[in-house]
Chains A and B, each alone.
Chain A
């Protein structure tokens, strides 16, 4: 009896364990080309998936940051008959949703307000209400300026939302905000050469990500204070604030596994990322004439001296 009971127990445990793991599947991934943030989230996601279920196969599409590319990538993945699609960023997620894929769609790395715009069936994701105002405040604490240039891409909803919000905050602070709509990465040099701004705020857009080295070089050359919402592994921006990709990746991985298990993302909802990377590159900030902020030091997750 005890043996039977023991066998039943192991059977139940085995079934439970089996039920706890996802079935083997193919997951389509859209990572907008040029975004290190999305790459890092995906890397974290993959790590988490691998740690939890090694049977997931990823088909990764890296479209350029434009509507056609995003849609094209979505269509390819749908055509590939993937079991789920992971889209990083609101723009890619929107493109997938427009194609009505019929498979679970998981998004990650989406800015809070933009996440609220994403609506559809079989949809779940991770977003982050990044306190972009804090970055502006740090910028004001470290250097006085009159006109703030905001680099954004109107095609990327996250970036556009951030820009819109910055416009509002700028008005509240009584500062001049000049939008720099970077639709194409190669245009950055000519745009920055012609624009008359005292400080730069880079929103989280893939076009800016692709043009990031140029942006950093030019701001450094022009001694222009600069803050960035762009994730940069090398942490070169004087002040960088991004959602923690690890948190985003882990959360997205959870949602993806659940969706794969259930073959649906419905009901999984939106997960709010609460962790941020506030990296204060003190060395680079001083080189562009930014002063230290003790608040920033104490708030920063990492200070580079």
Chain B
């Protein structure tokens, strides 16, 4: 059936399996999902994970969509979330502001758990250096992404530019990685920033991306996605969740769920995973406590 049907069916299934668990825990965990693509498909894709966790731990999971990246911190608090899948910068932000604790990081199908930020231009633009960015048009993903914005700030700061306003002829935030790449490809912008994984994915799909775009800068490796739980979470539940998630790749049923998600497994995460982000933020001159990540 269609997506909605499947979602409904999965919800029913998950709830039917978790009735006893609910009675035992008397609470379900509300986990936020950072919207990455079509949120409806995203929920659908994550429902098997909720069911799996429920079946294995008896802990009921409810996924909710977080809207804009920058709202995550507010939403986490106001909606009394128990945890969320954060990006590198938002995870670090939440950790600093709310004290959330990293639990696991999903391992990509290709085996990676980290991402890089890249700065790219059209090959025929003649731009080969950050200094040539002046009076050009630029495209970013979002203010609260390390890979989609912070890294560029860091690079600009490297050449003594502290403010993007006035440096670029014009700039804008596309809100997603793909749009950022294509904006440059289609000459709507001269310079673009995106997460390397997305760029590579697009390059594999669209030969023009690889042929006509040129990556002129690449960041250090940053954590890709991190599942963080609130700091006051019951350690027992935390441990249960970690055990189940990390052990998924060894369990055939878990493998099927992972395949649905496009991951090869989960690996344990720790606070130090945010160190590259912290460093990047510092280099970009961002005070994480006062950084206005919303527009």
Contacts and interface: CB of A to CB of B under 8 A. Distances in A.
B179 A133 contact: no
Contacts, number: 30
A59 interface: no
Interface residues of A, number: 12
B207 A295 contact: no
B188 A295 contact: no
Contact of B211 (A137, A172, A295, A298): A172
Contacts of B175: 298
Nearest to B206: A137
B208 A295 contact: no
A274 B187 contact: yes
A150 B238 CA distance: 59
Nearest to A134: B186
B211 A131 contact: no
Q: Which of A129, A169, A298 has the most CB of B within 10 A?
A: A298
A134 B185 contact: yes
B183 interface: yes
Interface majority SS on B: helix, strand, loop or mixed?
helix
Interface string B144-181: 00000000000000000000000000000011001100
B182 A295 contact: yes
Interface in A124-140: 129, 131, 133-134, 137
Interface residues of B, number: 14
A299 B182 contact: yes
A173 interface: yes
A137 B206 CA distance: 9
Contacts of A169: 208
A129 B207 CA distance: 19
Contact of A134 (B174, B178, B182): B182
Interface string A9-43: 00000000000000000000000000000000000
Interface string B200-212: 0000001110010
Q: Which of B174, B187, B206 has the most CB of A within 10 A?
A: B187
B179 A137 contact: no
Nearest to B208: A133
Interface of A: 129, 131, 133-134, 137, 169, 172-173, 274, 295, 298-299
9 A-B pairs closest in CB distance? A134-B186, A131-B186, A172-B207, A295-B179, A131-B187, A133-B208, A298-B179, A295-B178, A295-B182
Interface of B: 174-175, 178-179, 182-183, 185-188, 206-208, 211
28 contacts: A129-B187, A131-B185, A131-B186, A131-B187, A133-B185, A133-B186, A133-B208, A134-B182, A134-B185, A134-B186, A137-B182, A137-B206, A169-B208, A172-B208, A172-B211, A173-B206, A173-B207, A274-B187, A295-B178, A295-B179, A295-B182, A298-B174, A298-B175, A298-B179, A299-B179, A299-B182, A299-B183, A299-B186
